[in-house]
Structure 1
């Protein structure tokens, strides 16, 4: 129960502290999904400059969002034994430094969106608003878990917009081309792994008056996480069929589900740290499998 992805050991260098603070490896949750959105929307490889800009947009938004999350929760984290080693709590990163990082992150995100295409830039404030308001939602509603999950879904949405905006002047056509089934499936998937963060803090959050489905459901929270991820796999399979993808996409989807199942098994054994990180692997498997399927043009089943 002591696992904390944002904790930083004492006596480490500044770069290490910043990397732990941002949990930069978790960008791997979003990047395969963003590329999935772009590849499926176009049914071909997007231009390389767009792929690079998608990476930078996610990278900078990660900086802004995670820093804002840590800043908003600084006092809460200081009282939680599990999160007392986070850099903003220990002073390894100052409040002023955090505010500068938020400004840099948002600026980098908006510049990246501007360089992608017009519609990506127009829609970028909505994406940023969803990301930046997340840490405040758990003060009010358990649906904060779905708010966080929607950020992962927006990765697919944003990747699709980045690709489609190169070819369509109409916002309606851009939105019609978004693979919405994958967006929805990703939201259900992300609710499951987000609860791996909240279940260990269930009692603490209840005492602090914070909200999540872990607090609301108690001992049923883990089953709820598993149910959400099962729904996500079913919708992913529907998406494979709806968007005319080939057998490799179905294989990737099944593997994605099996990895999630193993992560769920680990969670039942209170190994929430490994369960959480196995979702990175499942994301990579799904994203790469579908992208390769699109690139190779494998015939649909």
Structure 2
């Protein structure tokens, strides 16, 4: 059977099959009960040789994809609710999964030595040795290539902006070694679709819309990823990795309020730029209250509480999306 598979499978898949225990279905050994948000049947549907690649691309953890996808969806929706724009949102959704997967793969290639020393990440496929460096590089290339095929279906200004996203995607993982604000650089990376969506829908670059929207997304990332980083603060302190969680310490909640205010302020600016209607602004009040409740209820010294609060930011993003749609309807 194995010789037959070697003849039929691509090179990177052949080596993967050899390395994976044939009866293994991954089970997290961390204390985080909600590490995997998709049903375990996902691993029953996908062939076992691909299980490590699913985990490497974080397909089994969809919250990360949501918080990357939603700024792009906001951006497209701000240009108007049309059938064409809805199809663009679909393309952005597929692109999000691919680019997030590529980013996670690149991140794990950079961080393999650190990941082996952190409880939450030591079972990641590259850190644990299930996937080799060579296989990881090939997998990153596959995902980037598929992402490019989606990108070239968009207009030229959007293609140019999209190509520029490769630089922050590649350099972000090393920022935690050199700066106490890696979450800021993560925000620069994850919210790139906010620059692309409105441009893809309109065919032109409107800085008065996309720049404040981009800043709103960065502030949002600072909010949720600072909370997320509190899960690893003990390990990060030991191994020398930097984060806003360690930098802000006991003052974290004060800073979270500042990030939230910055996010809402920039979203108001965006609304004024596109002549949004009153339901949009009323909705932003609800978003602000939702962020307030997150800050009030999260226990930054409890990993499960931090994880649950991070996951709840999917609702934050969806609320903003609905605000935009209702505002458009009332124009």
The TM-score with structure 2 as length reference comes to 0.77
User: 1:228 aligned to 255, 259, 262, which one?
Assistant: 259
How far off is 1:155 after superposition?
1.9
User: 1:96 aligned to 129, 134, 146, which one?
Assistant: 134
Question: CA, structure 1 residues 267+237, in 2 after alignment: closer, same or farther (shift >3 Å)?
Answer: same
How far off is 1:246 after superposition?
1.6
2:186 is the alignment partner of 1:148: yes
Return the index of the structure with the highest Cα Rg.
Answer: 2
C-alpha contact 1:6 1:21 (8 A) present in aligned 2: no
Q: Residue 297 of structure 2 aligns with which residue? A: 266
2:301 is the alignment partner of 1:275: no
Question: CA, structure 1 residues 248+91, in 2 after alignment: closer, same or farther (shift >3 Å)?
Answer: farther
How far off is 1:189 after superposition?
1.2
The TM-score with structure 1 as length reference comes to 0.85
Structure 2: distance between partners of 1:222 and 1:85? 30
User: 2:169 aligned to 115, 131, 145, which one?
Assistant: 131
Structure 2: distance between partners of 1:7 and 1:21? 15
Structure 1: distance between partners of 2:141 and 2:36? 20
Structure 1: distance between partners of 2:187 and 2:287? 17
Unpaired segments ≥5 residues, structure 2: 1-29
Q: Residue 156 of structure 2 aligns with which residue? A: 118
C-alpha contact 2:109 2:126 (8 A) present in aligned 1: yes
How far off is 1:255 after superposition?
2.5
Question: CA, structure 1 residues 43+20, in 2 after alignment: closer, same or farther (shift >3 Å)?
Answer: same
How far off is 1:163 after superposition?
1.5
Q: Residue 21 of structure 1 aligns with which residue? A: 56
Q: Residue 66 of structure 1 aligns with which residue? A: 104
* C-alpha RMSD of matched pairs (Å): 2.6
2:317 is the alignment partner of 1:286: no
Structure 2: distance between partners of 1:187 and 1:205? 22
C-alpha contact 2:172 2:186 (8 A) present in aligned 1: yes
Q: Deviations over 1:62-92 (max 9, x none)?
A: 1111111122111111111222222322334
Unpaired segments ≥5 residues, structure 1: 169-173
2:80 is the alignment partner of 1:43: yes
